[in-house]
Amino acid sequence: MGQSGRSRHQKRARAQAQLRNLEAYAAQPHSFVFSRGRAGRGVRQLSLDLRRVMEPLTASRLQVRKKNSLKDCVAVAGPLGVTHFLILSKTETSIYFKLIRLPGGPTLTFQINKYTLVRDVVSSLRRHRMHEQQFTHPPLLVLNSFGPHGMHVKLMATMFQNLFPSINVHKVNLNTIKRCLLISYNPDSQELDFRHYSIKVVPVGASRGMKKLLQEKFPNMSRLQDISELLATGAGLSESEAEPDGEHNITELPQAIAGRGNMRAQQSAIRLTEIGPRMTLQLIKIQEGVGEGNVLFHSFVHKTEEELQAILAAKEEKLRLKAQRQDQQAQNVQRKREQREAHKKKSLAGMKRSQAEADGDSDAEDPGAPPEAEGAGQQEEEDEAEYFRQAVGEEPDEDMFPKARRRRPNGPPSKKRRVKERKLDRGSDRRPPKAKGKPWRAQAKLGPRGAAQNSGRGRPRPPK
């Protein structure tokens, strides 16, 4: 049996081809098309039609919520390789279209004077040519009348060119060009005409009947005597089926194109059918950054050199203050980090010292309490000793409050003190004194728990 499946070399070649395709796809420009704010139903539909124009290098199912800001979109666009934003918005006075280059700008703001949706354009045509295969490749961009009319016009042309991948005229496959995007500039009114067309290539030099047969659309030949009448004159066909071709759209094909009769080095006619949308744009201003920055060009506001210098100085001062705040914040962060490290070291040293004292390590050095703590402890014990004197009426023992200072009597010792010292000198082997006011017989014998214990039922016996 032969080896089933692909060989090792075929798998390797296919993997390398897929990698090259991914790299080529990632190198092409990609875009996000969405609307911002309360745009309305018409503007939202216009944004969806613009997505159809930018396919397949755009996010067809992009959803932008109201809470998403422009910074959120920019943050998402970076990892996805998005290079352009096409944003539509609406105000009380007009509709605006912003074209933004990522990640650093510039931002071109246009005012939409007129627009027509795809459904309106298609409904106005007798026969339209629009199918899904046309949107598998980006359209061919055609710029008209973008001559030396100023730097802003040159910048507009560059921005529109970077929206779509570049084309190598020597290696391009004509079968991938199914659509055409025409942007025409009118220097008198300073407006842009945005048009979107479908491209159809048909052979020329054949009769209408032959074209009909090549397209596999057999006409009604019931009135004809011979098929030669159909091939020679195209009898029985309506005039609407024949489109006028001339020198303006007839060319010689450099390669074969999909379609019956479109052979290499043969004459074919290129026909355009508008599929929408239409827009009439007017440039308002050009900014440096993404939605903010210095205004490089403005159609309505013109500033003098002094005003520009004042604006530049104010911006530089703002940047200087911002840098100063950032430096101060960095110093504060460093200072707090050092304080945390010092506190951490001090805490670890205290934990080690406490553990060494608990383990009974005699070799560990005891730094002792700080003098403030010693003074506070001594003052507290003196207060307790004073409270003991007032409550008991005697001096506390030496081991009861070691840190408290003992009060020395100024005058001669009292009688009570002399009796106490005399008792201490005699020793503790003497018999305890009798209780005052009670005879020996009235005292009960106490047990180990302090309860009175009687040896008999009668009166308690006196102790021996």
Task: Take residue 122 and report the two structure tokens written for it.
Answer: 């298609």
Per residue in 67-111, pLDDT (tens digit) is: 999 999 999 998 999 999 999 999 999 999 999 999 888 999 999
Count other Cβ atoms within 10 Å, centred on residue 18: 10
**pLDDT confidence of 237, banded at 50, 70, 90?**
very low
Say which residue, 261 or 312, is predicted with more confidence.
312
Taking the C-alpha atoms of residue 87 and residue 37, their distance in angstroms, rounded to an integer, is: 10
Among 124-128, 141-145, 351-355, the range scoring the smallest mean pLDDT is 124-128
pLDDT band at 231 (very low <50, low <70, confident <90, very high): low
User: CA 277, CA 172: separation in Å to the nearest integer?
Assistant: 26
Task: Return the structure tokens found at 108.
Answer: 């071109």
List, in sequence order, every residue forming a beta bridge with 36; answer none if it has no partner: 89
Is 445 strand, coil or helix? Answer: strand
Question: Quick check: pTM over 0.85?
Answer: no
- Burial class of 62 by CB neighbour count within 10 A (0 to 12, 13 to 18, 19+): middle
Q: How far apart are CA 350 and CA 362, in angstroms?
A: 17
- Pair of tokens at residue 7: 């060989």
Provide the pLDDT for residue 3: 57
Q: Mean pLDDT of all residues in the chain?
A: 81
Is 459 in a helix, a strand, or coil? coil
Q: What tokens were used for 458?
A: 């009668």
Please write down the long-range contacts of 404-411, taking CB distance under 8 Å and 24 or more positions apart.
404/378
Confidence band (pLDDT; 50, 70, 90) for 404? low
Instruction: State the burial class of residue 169 (Cβ atoms within 10 Å of its Cβ: 0-12, 13-18, 19+).
Output: exposed
- pLDDT winner (highest mean) among 71-80, 297-306, 360-369: 71-80
Which residues are CB-contacts of 29 (< 8 A; sequence separation ≥ 6)? 57, 83, 84, 162, 163, 164, 165
Buried b (16+ CB within 10 A) or exposed e, 391-422: eeeebbeeeebeebeeeeeeeeeeeeeeeeee
pLDDT at 239: 43
The answer for 145, left when phi > 0, alpha when psi is -120 to 50, beta otherwise, is: left
Per-residue confidence (pLDDT) for residue 327, from 0 to 100: 95
Mean predicted confidence (pLDDT) in 444-450: 48
Q: Does residue 49 surpass a pLDDT of 90? A: yes
pLDDT tens column, 316-344: 999 999 999 999 999 999 999 999 999 99
State the DSSP code for 442. Answer: G
Query: Cα(29)–Cα(72) distance, rounded to whole angstroms?
Result: 20
